[in-house]
DNA sequence: CAGTACCTCCTCTGATGAAG
DNA sequence: CTTCATCAGAGGAGGTACTG
């Protein structure tokens, strides 16, 4: 692979590269950047030719970053961020203000860093005050007008207030080589009372006439995962939290479908333009328009 | 300076092979 | 059988050099 004598990196290629690194998949990334998979494939080949290094390891069903790809990703994100900052500096009037945003703890760990980072790049003068807690507590503070907007989780069938911005299946999860799922009664690590995941999971077990005992309760998914990793219990969790350290339990082990959960955005009707911009940004981060 | 021909690049469709 | 990355060939857009 001979490096090309081109000293300028194209932001289009960088955007595609970053998108693939996020999705781990050329086809999904192609949809996100509104190009065909073949066009994306060629863009990456062009970038690799320009750098003289392979950026991805091609697996049968997905791609992963090489060590060079990991290193280049940091620079690619920096360049795109600077690009966004430069554009936003001249394209849109600078919004100022403050937004009080509440979200579930797990959301804070998983999604918030990227959302805050991108929002800060385009709205550097807006102060974001973040409240992380359970959906129940967040709803209470939202009702008391202590928070401008909140994200809450609800069951698929639950007629909860707010706009659905994300939906995802819940699955039963155990430790990768664990045996907790085979015990009778099966030990569970659940979220706190009031969480729709908890109700949906128990309903699924009741429906299957499966005997269980609640061994651990945690307000955050991290607490449930700790019990799962120690093989002390199994837990109902969003499918996106399952990785190579876990074992996804299915009908084969006697754990059928739980259903899905929804992430809903509620906002105060009379929020300012800065808070409105943040609400739009959160929605767009999940691919939803108002 | 405008028009034309040629070249390069990009994206598309459709096909292919690998792998689950 | 399905999914995925990649390849080949075709067509379009834009840039450049040439000509009158």
Joined tokens for residue A255: 């754990």
Whole-angstrom distance, CA of residue A134 vs CA of residue A132 = 7
* H or E stretch at A72: helix A67-91
Q: How far is CA A60 from CA A25, A26, A64, in A?
A: 10, 11, 11
Asked if A11-91 and A167-262 have one fold, the answer is no
Question: Tokens 């706009």 identify what position?
Answer: A163
Superfamily of domain A97-153+263-285: Periplasmic binding protein-like II (3.40.190.10)
In the CATH scheme, what is the code of domain A11-91? 1.10.10.10
Render pLDDT for A43-72 as a digit per residue (tens, 0 to 9).
777 777 777 777 877 766 677 787 888 888
Question: Tokens 């908890």 identify what position?
Answer: A198
Residue A128's pLDDT is what? Answer: 92
Render pLDDT for A78-115 as a digit per residue (tens, 0 to 9).
888 777 777 666 665 667 889 999 998 877 777 888 88
State the CATH architecture for A167-262: 3-Layer(aba) Sandwich (3.40)
- Name the residue ranges covered by the structural domains of chain A: 11-91, 97-153+263-285, 167-262
* Residue A31, CB, strand B, below 7 Å: no
CA of A83 to C1' of C12 (A): 29
CA of A8 to C1' of C18 (A): 30
Is the pTM value of this prediction over 0.75?
Answer: no
Q: Which nucleotides on strand C sit less than 7 A from a protein beta carbon?
A: 3-8
* Residue A16, CB, strand B, below 7 Å: no
Task: Report, as ranges of residue numbers, the positions in chain A whose pLDDT lies below 50.
Answer: 1-5, 289-290
* Residue A35, CB, strand B, below 7 Å: yes
List of E strands, chain A: 56-58, 63-65, 97-104, 126-133, 149-155, 163-175, 186-191, 212-218, 235-238, 246-249, 259-267
CA of A168 to C1' of B17 (A): 33
């Amino acid at each position: 692979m001979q490096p090309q004598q081109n000293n300028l990196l194209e932001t289009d290629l960088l955007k595609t590269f970053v998108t693939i690194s996020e999705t781990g998949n050329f086809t999904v990334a192609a949809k996100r950047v509104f190009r065909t998979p073949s066009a994306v494939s060629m863009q990456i080949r062009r970038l690799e030719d320009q750098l003289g290094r392979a950026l991805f390891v091609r697996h049968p069903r997905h791609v992963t970053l090489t060590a060079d790809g990991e290193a280049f990703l940091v620079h690619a994100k920096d360049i795109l961020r600077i690009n966004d900052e430069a554009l936003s500096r001249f394209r849109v009037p600078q919004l100022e203000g403050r937004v009080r945003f509440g979200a579930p703890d797990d959301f804070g760990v998983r999604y918030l860093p990227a959302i805050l980072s991108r929002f800060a790049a385009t709205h550097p003068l807006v102060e974001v005050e973040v409240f992380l807690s359970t959906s129940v507590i967040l709803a209470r503070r939202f009702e008391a007008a202590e928070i401008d907007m909140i994200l809450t989780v609800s069951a698929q069938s639950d007629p909860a207030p707010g706009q659905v911005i994300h939906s995802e299946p819940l699955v039963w999860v155990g430790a990768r080589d664990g045996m907790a799922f085979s015990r009778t009664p099966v030990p569970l690590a659940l979220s706190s009372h009031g969480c729709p995941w908890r109700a949906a999971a128990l309903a699924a077990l009741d429906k299957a006439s499966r005997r269980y005992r609640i061994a651990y309760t945690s307000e955050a998914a991290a607490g449930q995962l700790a019990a799962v990793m120690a093989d002390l219990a199994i837990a109902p969790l969003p499918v996106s939290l399952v990785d190579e350290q876990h074992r996804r339990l299915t009908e084969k082990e006697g754990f059928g479908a739980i259903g899905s959960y929804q992430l809903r955005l509620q906002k105060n009707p009379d929020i300012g333009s800065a808070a409105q911009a943040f609400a739009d940004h959160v929605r767009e981060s999940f691919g939803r328009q108002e």
